[in-house]
Amino acid sequence: MNLVMEGLYTAILLIWVIIVVHPITKTLYNYMRKKGLSHTKAVYYNRKIIHIFAGGLVVILVPYLYSTPLLPGILAGILALATYLPHKKNNLMYWFQTEDNIYEVHFCIMWGIIVTLGWLIFKNWWYGVIPVAFMAFGDGVTGIVRNMLYNKRTKSWIGNIAMAAVTIPLGYIALGNIGAIAGLIASIVEHFEVANIIDDNIIVPLTSFLTVLAGTYIM
């Protein structure tokens, strides 16, 4: 019975993500372009909206809907494939995808890996959910702040301060002091990318998760 209900939840969440990615952000893209925003700024806003309302909202619901990471992992895999294929076929969803990177694919993959590891290691959803939430909500906020201030995709400590204002309280509420520390570290490492290959969608959740993992043995 649980598997049937969880399958239903997964279908509903998949439909929600599709709604966010297609009619909502595509409509927003057209609206922003009509208002004079550049293609780059409109795309970047949409990427962060998807971070928050697809990746973030869904991961926060995971502990309340699922008993194992099986179906959340499958959902993440479906979405990773769905975002990768447009790159492979050179048929991008132009309102949020770009030719120069596949970071949204990394987002989906890390979403599934970290949520699964959190459950497998701790038998507690929140140890995986919170690092992903840092990526979704924290990185989403910092991206929006930067996009408002600059006319190009760039890193700025102002954005990282905005991220910390989200991740530190979120981490503390869910996991206590170690969660707050992980939120602070996530806000710092987000500022850096490694050779344009390992982006913040990998660094933020991985570093946060490793911080929490280490903290359980130290604190």
Confidence grade of residue 1 (pLDDT, cut at 50, 70, 90):
low
Mean pLDDT of the chain: 93
What whole-number distance in Å separates Cα of residue 67 and Cα of residue 3?
Answer: 9
pLDDT number for residue 46: 97
Q: Which residues are bridge partners to 198 per DSSP?
A: 194
What whole-number distance in Å separates Cα of residue 76 and Cα of residue 135?
Answer: 15
Of 8-17, 63-72, 132-141, 151-160, minimum mean pLDDT range: 151-160
Confidence grade of residue 152 (pLDDT, cut at 50, 70, 90):
low
What whole-number distance in Å separates Cα of residue 130 and Cα of residue 145?
Answer: 21
Nearest CA to 96 out of 199, 167, 159, 17 is that of 17
Q: Are 108 and 76 in contact (CB under 8 A)?
A: yes
Is the pLDDT confidence value at 115 over 80? yes
What whole-number distance in Å separates Cα of residue 144 and Cα of residue 130?
Answer: 20
Q: What's the pTM value of the predicted model, to 2 decimals?
A: 0.93
pLDDT number for residue 197: 62
Count of residues for the chain?
219
- Tell the residue number behind the tokens 């990394």, with chain if given: 106
Is the pLDDT confidence value at 195 over 60? no
Q: At residue 15, what is the residue type?
A: I
Contacts of 73 (CB under 8 A, 6+ apart): 112, 115, 116
pLDDT number for residue 155: 75
Count the domains in the chain: 1
Would you state the structure tokens that stand for residue 100, as one six-digit string? Answer: 């120069």
Angle (CA) 178-180-182 rounded to 5° is 70
Query: In this predicted model, what pLDDT tens digit does every residue of 21-76 receive, in sequence order?
Result: 999 999 999 999 999 999 999 999 999 999 999 999 999 999 999 999 999 999 99
pLDDT number for residue 199: 86
Host domain of residue 76: 2-218
CB neighbour class for 195 (10 Å; exposed up to 12, middle 13-18, buried from 19): exposed
Would you state the structure tokens that stand for residue 6, as one six-digit string? Answer: 């969880």
Query: In this predicted model, what pLDDT tens digit does every residue of 119-138 receive, in sequence order?
Result: 999 999 999 999 999 999 99
Q: Averaged over 193-219, what is the pLDDT?
A: 85
